[in-house]
Amino acid sequence: MKLDEIIITEAIIETFTKKFRDYLSSDVAIAGGGPAGLCAAYYLAKAKKKVVLFERKLSVGGGMWGGGMMFNSIVVCSEGKKILDEFGIRNKEYKKGYYVADAIEAVTTLASKAVKAGAQVFNLMSVEDVEMRKDRVTGFVLNWSSVELANLHVDPMTIRAKFLVEATGHPCEVAKIIQRKLGTRLKTRTGGIVGEEPMWAEVGERAIVKNTKEFYPGAYVAGMAANAVFGGPRMGPIFGGMLLSGKKVAQLIAKRI
């Protein structure tokens, strides 16, 4: 069979442009493709919501690939195990209440199920700002991660959604942008980002689900960013809280659309 490089190029440009154009307006836009963002994308797509996720890096998966200290196994508690089972991610009980799964199977399955359920993922794009209308955030301002990394002066572009999800992990970048630009008006006890506390797995796992909620009109927080924004300990390589948080944010938002 004859192959023409120009047709290959056209195929990529045309399909990508159509895909991006289709998601200029969505029900939900998620910043960050770690376990929390991927899980949220999956449950929102399953609930028939139009959902798009933007990930800065080449690959989604965030901090899940590396398990604990690059030992690529992850641990979840009994509640987290239910979500692993829903996704079909194999896991074994190590000791009562501690379930272990392979980090690579976990990431690849979360990503595959989210995409096949209908979530659209754009990698290599970074959220650098938010769009605002009156007292509500209404969209993400995006740029290519390569532009950001090279520190080039190139203006970004905007997408719009009914709800935004901050799932950027420990740095809670979207919340920081909102705080910096809009002052201390977040729905936290201080009005600003409360901050992440030192390691305490048991308390952190509980807190992350409680802290998964709207932190500014139009913007919800999920995953490790929830404990950073509302205050709560980190929990290290135990990932059930991330999955439960992703599911909870999807349920909260789905009810409002």
**Does 250 interact with ligand 48F (rule: CB under 6 A)?**
no
Choice between 33 and 139, CB closer to ligand 48F: 33
Choice between 221 and 254, CB closer to ligand 48F: 221
Select the residue interacting with ligand 48F from 173, 186, 216, 221 (CB under 6 A): 173
Choice between 82 and 234, CB closer to ligand 48F: 234
Q: How far is CA 55 from the centre of its chain?
A: 8
Amino acid (1-letter code) at residue 103: A
**Does 35 interact with ligand 48F (rule: CB under 6 A)?**
yes
Asked if residues 249 and 219 have their Cβ atoms less than 8 Å apart, the reply is no
Select the residue interacting with ligand 48F from 30, 64, 175, 178 (CB under 6 A): 64
Select the residue interacting with ligand 48F from 63, 139, 232, 233 (CB under 6 A): 63
- Torsion sign (Cα): 169, 75, 57, 20: negative
Write the DSSP symbol of residue 69: T
Q: Which of residues 195-234 bind ligand 48F (CB under 6 A)?
A: 223-225, 234
Applying CB under 6 A, which part among 6-14, 93-101, 168-176, 187-195 lies near ligand 48F?
168-176
- Output the CA–CA distances (angstroms, integers) from residue 97 to 41, 74, 79, 124, in the order listed: 27, 14, 9, 37
Beta-bridged to residue 104, according to DSSP, are: none
**Does 67 interact with ligand 48F (rule: CB under 6 A)?**
no
The distance of closest approach from Cβ of residue 222 to ligand 48F in the complex, given in angstroms and rounded to an integer, is: 7
Sheet with 92-95, side-by-side order of all strands = 73-76, 98-102, 92-95
The distance of closest approach from Cβ of residue 6 to ligand 48F in the complex, given in angstroms and rounded to an integer, is: 32
Select the residue interacting with ligand 48F from 20, 25, 46, 57 (CB under 6 A): 57
Q: Pick from 241, 204, 194: which is nearest to 222 by CA?
A: 241
Q: How far is the C-alpha of 36 from the C-alpha of 245, rounded, in Å?
A: 6
- Torsion sign (Cα): 91, 94, 99, 105: negative
The distance of closest approach from Cβ of residue 65 to ligand 48F in the complex, given in angstroms and rounded to an integer, is: 9
Select the residue interacting with ligand 48F from 28, 29, 34, 80 (CB under 6 A): 34
Q: How far is the C-alpha of 223 from the C-alpha of 225, rounded, in Å?
A: 5
Please report, as ranges, the residues that interact with ligand 48F according to CB under 6 A: 31-37, 54-57, 62-64, 126-127, 167-170, 173, 223-225, 234-236, 238-239, 242
